[in-house]
């Protein structure tokens, strides 16, 4: 889809050469930013009570009198900020996506200047509203004719808005890639499939890629990763992607994504209800692929390494049993008290592996614990780091990207729950503080670099009628990577 900035005075809005016009209105005063025909149309809609200035409300008008556009959508926003603008545009775009419009103009009725943040919000909103999963659903509706979106404004820094649109499009492409991977069922999205996606991405965007098989992983001594994969017939894959945007001497940002392509829980098997959603347990891996996709398009002067340990967690006669002790790549032994706490087992070996890159920072991303969902719900991802500067940078990136996270503690006292009589550590503690003890487990493998952990169990997908992957935290990670460019 093509996104452009279209400078236009408010007096010219009625003559805009578009098929449809979305007008975002934030509050009573916003109507004062409209002139002529649009002002009268809004006044009439409000007087007839067909439209209300309450956030989330929309009104579709077909062939509005006095406008060149054949379709008009009013969309009410909570305020004039980018976040509210995004929500309003998403509601309006949902009204138009199945119609006949090819070119849509978007106007903010408020007289204030448009910003790069509004531009990013526009692209994110349209992507969210128009995405349809089709890979394994032939009955899904075909893509509509919508091909061009123009952000229309009079008061704006045109270059800044264009930069915002470019950033938004790169992030949206990364989000779409992450969603496409995560939405595929487990019999389609296997570890091999993830490796193929990484290889395709490397080919089209000039990245370097390496895929390790079981034999290579055994040679490296990744006993924890191997333990998780034992019960599956699907071969494991350990994927390494590299974007080299800076000098070789510059230490890279390393992103590690959990790639459990289906999680039954293993011998500690999950309840049947909603187990189908465990295809989303590779959302961390998908977000790493999506972020590399966005970064490769934007070409910042920074080095990035993406690492994905990928396998299934299945129960069979060879599967790891509760109470088994394995030796991780770091040499530390782990008593596997619960085979459904498998994500931390594949991540811990990956976190040891990445030491070879001498990283500037390592961020792991994982749908790790249900406890994080209990703590934060579905709006914010969980953030863990002992590094205050890194934590603050990630929090700021999340806010800038409208992909927020929230920092949780890593106090040493939580480490007590991981003690084992039979190994250096257990892989789980009790139920209390489960997201924290999971992060404390990972921390034991990160002593040689700056590290942060993002638990995305609540934010990576939606359940219910809107079931599907969200593509988060690709926006957060992309903004963070860009902030590290020199």
Mean pLDDT of 192-201: 98
Which residue ranges make up each domain of the chain?
Answer: 2-154, 174-483
Mean pLDDT of 93-114: 90
pLDDT surpassing 80 at residue 111: no
Catalytic residue among 344, 380, 444, 472: 344
Specify the pLDDT at position 29.
67
Peptide bond into 433 cis (omega under 30): no
The architecture (CATH level 2) of 174-483 comes to 3-Layer(aba) Sandwich (3.40)
pLDDT surpassing 90 at residue 76: yes
Q: In the structure, what pLDDT confidence band is assigned to residue 110 with cuts at 50, 70 and 90?
A: confident
pLDDT surpassing 90 at residue 144: no
Note whether 346 and 224 are within 8 A (CB). Answer: yes
Better-scored residue on pLDDT, 160 or 10: 160
Mean pLDDT of 226-252: 98
Specify the pLDDT at position 31.
64
Running DSSP on this structure, what letter comes out for residue 228? H
74 alpha carbon, distance to own chain's centre: 29
pLDDT surpassing 80 at residue 291: yes
CATH class of 2-154: alpha beta
Note whether 383 and 406 are within 8 A (CB). Answer: yes
Q: How far apart are CA 58 and CA 173, in angstroms?
A: 27
pLDDT, tens digit, 9 for 90 and up, residues 463-481? 999 999 999 999 999 999 9
Sort 323 into a burial class: Cβ within 10 Å, 0-12 / 13-18 / 19+.
Answer: exposed
Q: How far apart are CA 46 and CA 336, in angstroms?
A: 63
pLDDT surpassing 70 at residue 32: no
Catalytic residue among 134, 163, 214, 270: 270
Specify the pLDDT at position 35.
77
Mean pLDDT of 114-136: 96
Q: Highest mean pLDDT: which of 96-110, 147-161, 229-243? A: 229-243
Q: How far apart are CA 329 and CA 218, in angstroms?
A: 10
Residue 365 has φ and ψ, to the nearest 5°, of: -130, 125
Specify the pLDDT at position 383.
98
Mean pLDDT of 438-442: 98
Residue 458 has φ and ψ, to the nearest 5°, of: -95, -20
pLDDT, tens digit, 9 for 90 and up, residues 400-425? 999 999 999 999 999 999 999 999 99
pLDDT surpassing 80 at residue 382: yes
**Kind and range of the H or E run holding 366:** strand 361-366
* Cα→Cα distances 485→15, 215, 229, Å: 42, 36, 37
CA angle 191, 196, 201 (to 5 degrees): 125
Note whether 322 and 214 are within 8 A (CB). Answer: no
- Specify the range with the lowest mean pLDDT, choosing from 35-39, 172-176, 202-206: 35-39
Mean pLDDT of 139-161: 90
Q: How far apart are CA 108 and CA 120, in angstroms?
A: 14
In the block, tokens 């200047």 appear at 113
Residue 33 has φ and ψ, to the nearest 5°, of: -85, 0
Q: How far apart are CA 188 and CA 241, in angstroms?
A: 21
Q: In the structure, what pLDDT confidence band is assigned to residue 143 with cuts at 50, 70 and 90?
A: confident
Q: In the structure, what pLDDT confidence band is assigned to residue 30 with cuts at 50, 70 and 90?
A: low
Specify the pLDDT at position 159.
92
Q: How far apart are CA 123 and CA 170, in angstroms?
A: 10
Specify the pLDDT at position 440.
98
Q: Which residue in 5, 261, 292 sits closest to 175, CA to CA?
A: 292
pLDDT surpassing 90 at residue 250: yes
Q: Which residue in 372, 258, 275, 256 sits closest to 314, CA to CA?
A: 275
B/e letters for 218-245, b = 16+ CB within 10 Å, e = fewer, are eebbbbbbbbbbbbbebebbbbbbbbeb
Mean pLDDT of 275-281: 98
In the block, tokens 């119609």 appear at 99
pLDDT, tens digit, 9 for 90 and up, residues 299-315? 999 999 999 999 999 99
Global pTM reads 0.96
Q: In the structure, what pLDDT confidence band is assigned to residue 153 with cuts at 50, 70 and 90?
A: confident
Q: Quick check: is 344 catalytic?
A: yes
Q: In the structure, what pLDDT confidence band is assigned to residue 155 with cuts at 50, 70 and 90?
A: confident
Complete DSSP assignment for 200-215 = HHHHHHT-EEEEE-HH
Sort 388 into a burial class: Cβ within 10 Å, 0-12 / 13-18 / 19+.
Answer: exposed
Q: How far apart are CA 213 and CA 235, in angstroms?
A: 8
Q: How far apart are CA 8 and CA 6, in angstroms?
A: 6
Q: Quick check: is 270 catalytic?
A: yes
The SS3 of residue 339 is coil
Arithmetic mean of pLDDT over the chain: 96
């Amino acid at each position: 889809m093509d996104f452009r900035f279209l400078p236009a005075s408010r007096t010219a809005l009625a003559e805009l050469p578009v098929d449809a016009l979305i007008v975002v209105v934030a509050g009573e005063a916003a109507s004062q930013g409209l002139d002529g025909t649009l002002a009268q149309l809004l006044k009439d809609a409000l007087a007839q009570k067909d439209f209300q200035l309450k956030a989330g409300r929309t009104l579709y008008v077909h062939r509005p009198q006095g406008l060149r556009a054949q379709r008009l959508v009013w969309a009410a926003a909570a305020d004039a900020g980018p976040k509210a603008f995004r929500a309003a545009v998403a509601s309006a775009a949902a009204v138009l996506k199945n119609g006949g419009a090819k070119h849509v103009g978007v106007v903010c009725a408020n007289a204030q200047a448009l910003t790069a943040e509004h531009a990013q919000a526009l692209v994110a909103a349209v992507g969210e509203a128009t995405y349809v999963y089709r890979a394994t659903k032939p009955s899904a509706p075909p893509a509509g004719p919508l091909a061009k979106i123009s952000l229309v404004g009079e008061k704006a820094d045109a270059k800044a808005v264009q930069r915002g649109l470019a950033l938004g499009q790169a992030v949206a492409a990364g989000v779409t890639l992450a969603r496409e991977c995560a939405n595929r069922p487990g019999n389609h999205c296997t570890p091999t499939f993830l490796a193929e996606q990484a290889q395709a991405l490397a080919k089209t965007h000039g990245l370097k890629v390496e895929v390790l098989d079981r034999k290579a992983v055994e040679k490296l001594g990744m006993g924890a990763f191997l333990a998780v994969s034992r019960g599956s017939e699907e071969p494991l894959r350990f994927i390494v992607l590299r974007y080299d945007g800076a000098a070789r001497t510059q230490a890279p940002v390393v992103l590690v994504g959990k790639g459990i392509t289906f999680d039954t829980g293993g011998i500690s098997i999950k309840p049947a209800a909603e187990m189908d959603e465990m295809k989303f347990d590779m959302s961390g891996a998908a977000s790493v692929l999506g972020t590399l996709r966005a970064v490769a398009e934007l070409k910042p002067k920074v080095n990035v390494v993406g690492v994905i340990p990928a396998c299934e967690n299945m129960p069979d006669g060879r599967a790891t049993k509760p109470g088994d002790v394995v030796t991780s790549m770091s040499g530390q032994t782990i008593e596997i008290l619960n085979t459904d706490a498998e994500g931390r087992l594949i991540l811990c070996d990956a976190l040891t592996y990445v030491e070879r890159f001498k990283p500037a920072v390592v961020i792991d991303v994982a749908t790790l614990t249900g406890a994080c969902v209990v703590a934060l719900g579905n709006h914010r991802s969980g953030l863990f780091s002992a590094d205050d500067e890194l934590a603050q940078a990630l929090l700021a990136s999340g806010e800038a990207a409208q992909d927020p996270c929230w920092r949780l503690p890593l106090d040493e006292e939580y480490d007590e729950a991981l003690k084992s009589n039979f190994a250096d550590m257990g892989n789980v503690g009790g139920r209390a503080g489960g997201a924290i003890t999971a992060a404390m487990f990972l921390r034991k493998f990160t002593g040689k670099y700056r590290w942060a952990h993002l638990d995305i169990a609540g934010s990576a997908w939606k359940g219910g009628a809107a079931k599907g992957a969200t593509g988060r935290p690709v926006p957060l990670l992309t903004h963070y990577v860009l902030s590290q460019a020199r």
